[in-house]
Structure 1
């Protein structure tokens, strides 16, 4: 069962969702506070930072038994360079 809701942070509405007892928040809603026209650009810039990818890799290692760390490592070596790009769909692949 999926339960949807909202929280309010400094008068901004952030959508939430609970699925299988796990709470999620919409990072696009948070990014919209920095760039209302193109929040995806804020998310993409956040995802290309090395420390963000290290966090996501650790989370996957701890929570995803199918995570292939060997395939993830090349992303970490590229992260942070000017030519490196990352998106949610690429991270899932």
Structure 2
């Protein structure tokens, strides 16, 4: 299941999703500030980009196909070379890029790759993207912490209510205090 969220980077709304418990950021949204949707294709033609994607996949994807990667790497940078995210994923078994068709679709990249793409677009944009992303993650962590503390407090109160009810209704009144403690421990 994917969970979609959004953040604002220098006034540009950028969507990100959680897929397989990892954050993927929309490259399509990131380029709106810099041109049209063809910008990622120019980035993918770059030899350094293909090398970066290959290294990332080797580290993070045991099913990555290195022979296909080597073919792309040898052609990258040539005028005749073109590469789309879906072609990369299909040929190499990559998991770092994700192309989603239809409404709300676009090209998504794992946050590590998206930050690298942001650097290629503009170092300033990359820094703002990282800052906003981290701010949002910190907010989520604080919200989760508050939820955890609430659950902990609720459990503590319920424990007290249950033990008091047991003492009042289930434990015979004629037992001594020491015997009551023994009954509750069983």
Fold equivalence (TM over 0.5): yes
Instruction: Map 1:75-86 to 2 at 5 A.
Output: 75-86=72-83
Structure-1 residue corresponding to 2:43: 46
Unmatched 5+ stretches in structure 2: 91-186
Unmatched 5+ stretches in structure 1: none
Distance 1:21 1:70 in 2: 28
TM-score, length-normalised on structure 2?
A: 0.46
Q: CA RMSD in A?
A: 1.2
1:26, distance to aligned residue in structure 2 (A): 0.1
Distance 1:87 1:20 in 2: 22
1:19, distance to aligned residue in structure 2 (A): 2.6
Structure 1 SS opposite 2:59: helix
Aligned in 2, Cα 1:29/1:2: closer, same or farther, shift over 3 Å?
Answer: same
Structure-1 residue corresponding to 2:12: 12
Total equivalences in the alignment: 90
TM-score, length-normalised on structure 1?
A: 0.89
Instruction: List structure 1 runs of 4+ shifted beyond 3 angstroms.
Output: none
Distance 1:76 1:45 in 2: 15
Structure-1 residue corresponding to 2:85: 88
